[in-house]
Structure 1
Amino acid sequence: MNNKIIDAHVHIYPSEFEEDWDLIAKREPWFDRLTKSKVHKWGTAEDLIESMDKNNIAASFVTGFAFKDQGLCRISNDYILSAAKRFPDRIKALSVVSPNEPGASDEIARCAAEGAIGIGEIFPDGQSFDITDNRETWRLVNSCREHDLFLMIHTAEQAGHDYEGKGKVGANEAAKFCCNHPGIKVIFAHFGGGLWAYEGMPEMKLILSNTYYDTAAMPWLYSEKVLDSIFALGIGHKILFGSDWPILDFPRYEQLLNLTKLKDEEKLMLLYKNAAALCNEIS
């Protein structure tokens, strides 16, 4: 693909999160649970760049951990914003806030001024944030729109086996969010928990007109046929390759991609063009 790959779902962590794990875990139950998971891996900015070079990835949308504590979110944001300045053509910063905690709007404004391109990955379960309740979501959405930022929200399929980090937010909750806020550009992680399938309904297609979906964790959840189905439904321009690095990396997805019936141009949309267009960097 001639280096035409953008990974739209990546996590990195400052070293102090690993070093001070016990102190943070006592304050953040979901951090405790997720970082104890057998699939969890730590990754720094330098680790990410090394992996990107190895896998021929041009740029990545990079976020941290969705803490409930706003101060920890700021520490994560500082690290990622700094990394984006050190690797300006490679790392595109997403900043995370705790939406219901004081200071969320100010932190969004600060991060936007420092070069963030989006806010997320918001984790509703871990941050006690109800994305179906307009009384909770309007401030977050308005702040993002004010600063021309997109949102990324964690979702998961509400069927199949349970696993750490799955959460209770799926297609129904994501659809309600979009009904309340059809104007905000939003990426629903992990295929939106199946929300993409509702784009076949004319009324939902309109409501979901600013909605995108990423492929994060696909090798653990879906066959390659889901990608064929998304393009067959006519929404191939709305799917973004996201690896969920460092827990998964590109080769696992490449194996699935090679099994699809997608044309080369469709693969380029998935791997590069859609994400580039979202952050206005299409070349």
Structure 2
Amino acid sequence: MIIDSHTHIFSKDLIDRRNELTERDERFRECYASPKAKMVTAAELVQEMERAGIARAVVTGYAFADGTLCAASNDHIIEAIKAFPDKLVGLAAIQPLEGDKALYEAERCYLAGLRGLGELTADGQGFDLTEPALFRDLAALTAKYKGVIMLHASEPLGHLYPGKGKTTPDKILALAQHHPECNIIAAHWGGGLPFYELMPEIAKALSNLYYDTAATTYLYRFGIFRAVCDLAGAHKILWASDYPLLGQARLLERVRGEAMLNEIELEQILGGNAARLLGLEEKGE
């Protein structure tokens, strides 16, 4: 079973409100102001999945700075997993700075069938991952529901691109150290965090942290797959496209042809790890 662990969808209403949203949210404007930046609905994603031969996809909306907009995005994610229960797995956007309001929204989404929180963006939402108490209740709630927290991560060096920020490996590590009870996904290869797993104390602290491969084409040579397998282990890598930023079918083709992975590693990365992490195996999926 192939699982795309990181995709983005929007309701028709939010797509139609693109110009308004770019005025209300600076980070959203950076990523979506260009008409070339695609915004797709759940139905369009499922069509792409069928063309690419993908069984399941983890869907997120957008983590706005305004929690009210996060809730509107979550409403579409909830409806999407109801419409495509055998295809889509949902994550909820929340604004951690909103305290009890964020906790309420997170639990609302868990009770509605979503499997975690994400893709949260410290840069765009203005929170500090190194603050020990910020995620205390959210992490406990996520552990209670056996969910995950997905975080946008960025490299501390290298080329610039829309959405690059300052959520660097040290900050992702701080969250993992503060909340070892919670499973965390560091998107975009964790901004280079896998390298530090060569340090035994860092590997131990990151035992419940996983790396997704979203947007690989824009970030690294495909040797990154082999490198992170050797650094952290294939069991910690979740294949992800960041669709619609990247086409799923072409990316799958490149991973199979260029990533230098054996069949066991491919099985783990392309779906096995995500199925285990998200509890899909429990239903025989």
Normalised to the residue count of structure 1, the TM-score between the two structures is: 0.95
How far 1:234 sits from its partner (Å)? 5.0
Partner of residue 84 from structure 1, selected from 81, 84, 90: 81
Q: Of 116, 131, 134, which aligns to 1:133?
A: 131
1:16 CA drift (Å): 1.3
2:217 corresponding residue in structure 1: 219
Higher helix share: 2
In 1, distance between residues paired with 2:245 and 2:153?
17
Q: CA offset at residue 21 of structure 1? A: 2.3
Give, in whole Å, the separation in 1 of the partners of 2:166 and 2:76: 29
Between the aligned partners of 1:252 and 1:220, the Cα distance in structure 2 is 12
Does the 8 Å CA contact 2:140/2:181 hold for their aligned counterparts?
Answer: no
> How far 1:31 sits from its partner (Å)?
1.4
State whether structure 2 residue 65 is matched by structure 1 residue 68.
Answer: yes
Q: How does 1:94-109 map to 2 (within 5 A)?
A: 94-102=91-99, 103-109=101-107
- Structure 1 contact 223–256 (Cα < 8 Å) conserved: no
Stretch deviating more after TM superposition (54-63 or 134-143): 134-143
Q: Distance in 1 between matches of 2:256 and 2:25?
A: 36
The SS at the match of 1:100 is helix
C-alpha distance in 1, partners of 2:216/2:279? 26
Q: Out of 163, 168, 190, which is 1:165 matched to?
A: 163
CA-CA distance at 1:257 after TM superposition? 3.5
**1:265 positional shift:** 1.5
Tell me what 2:274 maps to. Answer: 275
Across the aligned residues of Structure 1 and Structure 2, the Cα RMSD in angstroms comes to: 1.4
User: Is contact 2:194-2:232 (8 Å) kept?
Assistant: no
**Structure 1 stretches of at least 4 aligned residues deviating more than 6 Å after TM superposition:** none
What does 1:154-233 correspond to in 2, within 5 Å? 154-233=152-231
Instruction: Kindly indicate whether the alpha-carbon contact (under 8 Å) linking 1:156 and 1:167 is maintained by their aligned counterparts in 2.
Output: yes
Residue segments in structure 1 that go unaligned for 5+ positions in a row: none
Taking the aligned partners of 2:246 and 2:60, their CA distance within structure 1 comes to: 15
134-143 vs 10-19, which moves further: 134-143
The total of aligned residue pairs comes to 280
Is the Cα–Cα contact under 8 Å of residues 77 and 96 in structure 1 kept in the other structure?
A: yes
Q: How far, CA to CA, are the matches of 2:253 and 2:122 in structure 1? A: 30
TM-score (norm 2): 0.94
Partner of 2:27: 30
| Secondary structure of the structure 2 residue equivalent to 1:126 | helix
| Corresponding residue for residue 244 of structure 1 | 242
3-state SS of paired residue (1:50): helix
Residue matched to 1:47? 44
